[in-house]
């Protein structure tokens, strides 16, 4: 009886992931690095840097990673999984909506707009390029608004500090006590 109660009181860990889920997660992780390398290199080549001579090899690595994924899992990765892998935006699972977060969000909006401009320009999509420019300017305007609000807060705090210092009466200097010796000796 006591032995049975001891067994019940112990914590037990049960894994709820099937082997298929585990294989899928590993296969997904195997496509991440080749995709990141290819995407990063393409972006760098487009901006005038990067290693254009490695693009073919990187494309092959991505295809091979996708084929391994398909062989392990039985289907291709879902588009949302690929989108998630290639997303440059930070994880917002626990955002703190403070000034630093707003500033970072504005910067990411600028980057997103710039990427849209470049992608649209490559394939001659003028309307999409204009949308990218608009998104960039939204980010720039948000950044300027954040900076202006911070400047105003700083100026107000500085004004309040000066006002507080002004309203305080100046500290009086204490009169020195003259010693008896100083009274008799004029050199002191």
115/102 Cα distance (integer angstroms): 20
Tell me the C-alpha to C-alpha distance, in Å, between residue 7 and each of 2, 16, 104. Answer: 9, 21, 51
Q: What is the mean pLDDT of residues 121-150?
A: 94
Task: Give the tens place of pLDDT for each residue, 49-87.
Answer: 899 999 999 999 999 999 999 999 899 999 999 999 998
Measure CA 26 to chain center: 25
Which residues, including other chains, have CB under 8 Å from residue 26's CB and lie 6 or more apart?
72
Check: pTM over 0.85? Answer yes or no.
no
Task: Give the tens place of pLDDT for each residue, 139-163.
Answer: 999 999 999 999 999 999 888 888 8
pLDDT given at position 101: 85
Q: Is 169 left (phi over 0), alpha (psi -120 to 50) or beta?
A: beta
The whole-chain average pLDDT of the chain stands at 84
Axis-axis angle for helices 19-46, 99-122 (nearest 10): 70
Torsion, CA 78, CA 80, CA 83, CA 88, rounded to 10: -140
């Amino acid at each position: 009886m006591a032995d049975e109660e001891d067994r019940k009181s112990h914590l037990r860990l049960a894994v709820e992931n099937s082997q298929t889920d585990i294989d899928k997660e590993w296969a997904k992780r195997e496509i991440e690095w080749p995709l990141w390398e290819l995407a990063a290199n393409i972006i760098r080549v487009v901006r005038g840097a990067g290693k254009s001579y490695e693009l073919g090899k990187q494309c092959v690595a991505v295809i091979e990673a996708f084929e391994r994924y398909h062989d392990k899992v039985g289907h291709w990765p879902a588009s949302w999984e690929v989108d998630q892998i290639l997303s440059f935006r930070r994880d917002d699972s626990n955002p703190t909506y403070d000034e630093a977060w707003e500033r970072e969000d504005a910067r990411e909006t600028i980057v997103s707009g710039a990427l849209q401009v470049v992608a649209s320009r490559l394939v001659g999509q003028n309307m999409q390029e204009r949308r990218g420019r608009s998104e960039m300017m939204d980010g720039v305007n948000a950044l300027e608004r954040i900076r202006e609000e911070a400047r105003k807060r700083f100026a107000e705090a500085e004004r309040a500090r000066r006002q507080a210092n002004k309203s305080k009466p100046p500290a009086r200097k204490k009169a020195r006590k003259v010693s008896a010796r100083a009274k008799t000796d004029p050199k002191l």
